[in-house]
Structure 1
Amino acid sequence: MKIAIGCDEAAISLKEIIKVLLNEMKHEVKDYGVYSAEPSLYPDTAVAVASAIAAGMHERGILLCGTGIGMAISANKVPGIRAAVCHDLFSTQRSRRSNDCQIMTMGARVIGVELAKELVKVWLDCAFVGGNSTAKVSKIMEYEQKFINGGC
């Protein structure tokens, strides 16, 4: 699978650990930064990753910051993208099975390394189930298009 990954300065160490895991799992990984501990603006990285996914360059993305929240908010500004904070097994599974999220976000200051690695494995293994969720995801995309086209 082609996976985009990115972080801010708060999550560089976790990003590097997740990259090793993804390579071990034989995924193709593109790193969108950041690469140093210098303060950065996480929306830049989030939008770069989300835009690349929306353009079809990658199948999924993983974004990391201090809490995961800012990355999710920023990535969700890109039309067609659904990103969710994944800090526990249930919400991680549901982000894929029920919401067809293409991006998972995690907070390096919120969860430990081993949990983060397990959640990545689970998230990559989950597929959108459809069923009752199909209409809900379609409705999200419908509202998104209405806002893009200038109305609600």
Structure 2
Amino acid sequence: MTPTRKKRLLMILLMVLGLSTATALVLTAFRDNIMYYRSPSDIKAGDIPNNRNFRIGGMVKTGTFVKATDSLKSEFIVTDYAAEVSIVYEGILPDLFREDQGVVAIGRINEGGVFVAEEILAKHDENYMPPEVAASLKKES
């Protein structure tokens, strides 16, 4: 092989190696940042991502919302009409949050089986419902 061909081959191999490394890094970053969605039925069936946050969605069950008087702690139950999951959240709830409305919570399940939310997302208007919540409610109805 001539020196020119060796240089070209080496350059091609270095570019392929660099592209492979960049692809591996991007895929690893995507895997670490994926936010899974689960319905209350999925959670009751034991389908929970280990050691990572995920989203749960459903309807806030009527009569279950309890707000602490001395802190920002709130407790309520989310249902997909087939299963229910208790949620605890400490923080300011969205203005549109209320019972019998769609909600999505981001957090994780603790040892007691209670979902500890880090963020609560409420619907935007009367007709809006997060697509995942609508699909899981339709599936369970």
**TM-score, normalised via structure 1 length:** 0.24
Which structure has more strand as a fraction of its residues?
Answer: 2
Which structure has more helix as a fraction of its residues?
Answer: 1
Query: For the pair shown, which has the larger CA radius of gyration, 1 or 2?
Result: 2
